[in-house]
A and B are shown apart, each in its own frame.
Chain A
Amino acid sequence: DAGVTQSPTHLIKTRGQHVTLRCSPISGHKSVSWYQQVLGQGPQFIFQYYEKEERGRGNFPDRFSARQFPNYSSELNVNALLLGDSALYLCASSLGPGQGIPYEQYFGPGTRLTVT
């Protein structure tokens, strides 16, 4: 079975531009989470979506938004890009919140965003 897929792999944008990143979860997974990882740090939680509803939001500005589609794929949008948005953007999928204990999450290969 295919794992989590993300597109594009790499992206170079200019300050002030907008970017859309895409993620397809593992088949059968209904939950998608987005993380930002800057060099030398652990990933930071941005959003979680389950069954097309937002279930969690991290400490990121309103320039960041996301949505989940009926096929459980997801998009992350970032407006008015800043140099500090340069990072590896990771998508993770899971079966969902589970019955009391969250299921484990599996990461895609990531999108490397460079803002110049």
Chain B
Amino acid sequence: QKEVEQNSGPLSVPEGAIASLNCTYSDRGSQSFFWYRQYSGKSPELIMFIYSNGDKEDGRFTAQLNKASQYVSLLIRDSQPSDSATYLCAVISNFGNEKLTFGTGTRLTIIP
């Protein structure tokens, strides 16, 4: 079992709709969860982080965390073509270091 799993996609969403990206993780002791956006040929850009169960909203983005189900998701409201990118879920499990463990990413395409 992979430590962090994501559906690789591609996920196609019409412009203006809600895009829903999902991620599961295997280490039940994980405490910190991050979503990065990566455009083709570029480096990952941090868009959201969440530490506590529940929802965290920032503009059009909402991160949701359910530690009991070991599940974290990212919702993008009012999707725009500029949201087309690969979204990487990352987890920190060990407070001794800051090792981010990434999923393979979900490729999102917003259709105009």
Contact = CB atoms under 8 A, between A and B. Distances in A.
Interface of A: 31, 33, 35, 40-45, 48, 50, 55-56, 58, 88, 90, 92, 94, 97, 100-110
Interface residues of B, number: 27
A33 B98 contact: yes
B17 interface: no
Contacts, number: 71
Closest 7 CB pairs of A and B: A42-B102, A56-B97, A55-B97, A107-B43, A45-B99, A110-B43, A102-B98
A42 B59 CA distance: 25
Nearest to A91: B43
B31 A101 contact: yes
Interface of B: 4, 31-32, 34, 36, 42-46, 49, 51, 88, 90, 92, 94-105
Given A105-B100, A107-B46, 16 more contacts: A33-B99, A41-B104, A42-B102, A43-B88, A45-B99, A45-B100, A58-B99, A97-B95, A97-B97, A101-B31, A101-B95, A104-B46, A105-B34, A106-B46, A109-B42, A110-B43
A19 to B, nearest CB: 18
B44 A56 contact: no
A90 B44 contact: yes
A33 B100 contact: yes
